[in-house]
Amino acid sequence: METTKNYTFKLFVAAVAGLIVGYFVFNGGDNSSAGTGSNIGDKYIGVSLKDSPTIACTFERTTAVAYEKNAIVHEMPHKEANPIVFIFSALNTESPKVQGVGSNNTLYDSNAVILGNTADKLILGEVTPTEKNVFIYTIHKASGVATWTKQYEIFGTPLGLISMGKCSASY
């Protein structure tokens, strides 16, 4: 009888230890990098951006895709050394502006076109005049987050970027 109790207790301790280790492996720890097929989560509780004429969004992670050597390549999301920041202003006009600071600290200033505007979502777009790069910005007003995408080519190679960022409003 004593042997069965010891065995059951050891089995119970091993199961609990396995659950604790499994929790930290799959849910805890530093999420700054991940392996193939992993999700990366940055905690954020959004704020409402409704009716704000100016919205600033910070994008800390970017995912890149490319068509190279007859293959579609998806790069793992990486944390930017310097987050990308976009400031969307004059959103209550027909001529909104986009200003930004890129990950390499380059300044960016452009006009955007409103592609859609509902109570919950604002979609802006632009095409750069020289390079013909396409940018789409989708601001989710209720949750306080935004996505931006960039579609472009370098030396005939199709490339794309996507990111989701945290936003704040200025009234």
User: What is the model's pLDDT at position 3?
Assistant: 61
**Does the reported pTM lie above 0.85?**
no
In single-letter form, the type of residue at position 40 comes to I
3 φ, ψ to 5°?
A: -65, -40
Instruction: With a cut of 90, say whether residue 160 has pLDDT above it.
Output: yes
Which contiguous run of DSSP H or E holds residue 165? strand 157-170
Q: Please return the burial class of 36, using the count of CB atoms within 10 Å of its CB with bins 0-12, 13-18 and 19+.
A: exposed
What is the 8-class DSSP label of residue 50? Answer: T
Instruction: With a cut of 90, say whether residue 36 has pLDDT above it.
Output: no
